[in-house]
Amino acid sequence: MFDAGQCGASRLPINLHPILICRGACVSHLHHSTTQSVDFDRELIARYDGKGPRYTSYPTADRFVPGFGATDHAHALSSVAQGDAAKPLSLYFHIPFCDTVCYYCACNKVITKDRAQADRYLDRLVREIHLQADSLPFRAQVWQLHLGGGTPTFLSDDQFVRLMDAVASRFDLLDGGEFSIEVDPRKVSEETVLLLAGLGFNRMSVGIQDFSAEVQKAVNRVQSEAETRRVIDAARSSNFRSISVDLIYGLPRQSVESVRETIGQVLRIRPDRIALYNYAHLPERFMPQRRINAAELPASEAKLDILQNSIEQIVDAGYVFIGMDHFALPDDELAEAQRRGELHRNFQGYSTHADCDLLALGVSAISKVGTVYCQNVKTLEDYYAKIDSGQLATDRGIALNQDDELRRSVIQKLMCQFELDFCRIGMEFSLNFREYFALELALLEQHARDGLVAIDEEGIRVLPKGRLLIRSVAMVFDRYLREQAPVGRFSRLI
- 408 assigned ligand-binding residue: no
Find out whether 235 is annotated in a ligand binding site.
no
Tell whether 151 is in a known binding site. Answer: yes
Measure the CA angle with vertex 249, ends 244 and 252; round to 5°: 130
Note whether 403 and 14 are within 8 A (CB): yes
Beta bridge partners of 468: none
Is 395 annotated as belonging to a binding site?
no
Distance, CA of 261 to CA of 240 (rounded, Å):
27
Distance CA 359, CA 91 (A): 5
Cα–Cα distance for residue pair 136/77, rounded to 1 Å? 5
246 is in an annotated binding site: yes
Residue 478 in marked binding region:
no
69 is in an annotated binding site: no
* Contact (Cβ atoms closer than 8 angstroms) between residue 251 and residue 215: yes
Is 92 annotated among the ligand-binding residues?
yes
State how far the alpha carbon of 419 is from the alpha carbons of 320, 413, 414, in Å.
17, 6, 5
Question: Is 84 known as a binding-site position?
Answer: no
- Distance of alpha carbon 166 from alpha carbon 347, whole angstroms: 23
Contact 221, 209 (CB under 8 A): yes
Query: What CA–CA distance (Å, rounded) separates 294 from 353?
Result: 40
Alpha-carbon distances of 295 from 134, 155, 222, 253, 254, rounded to whole Å: 53, 36, 21, 9, 12
Per-residue burial over 401-433, b if 16 or more Cβ lie within 10 Å, else e, is: bebbbbbbbbbbbbbbbbbbbbbbbbbebebbb
Instruction: Indicate the annotated binding residues for [4Fe-4S] cluster.
Output: 98, 102, 105
Known binding residues are 92, 98, 102, 104-106, 149-151, 182, 209, 221, 246, 280, 366
Residue list, annotated binding site for S-adenosyl-L-methionine: 92, 104-106, 149-151, 182, 209, 221, 246, 280, 366
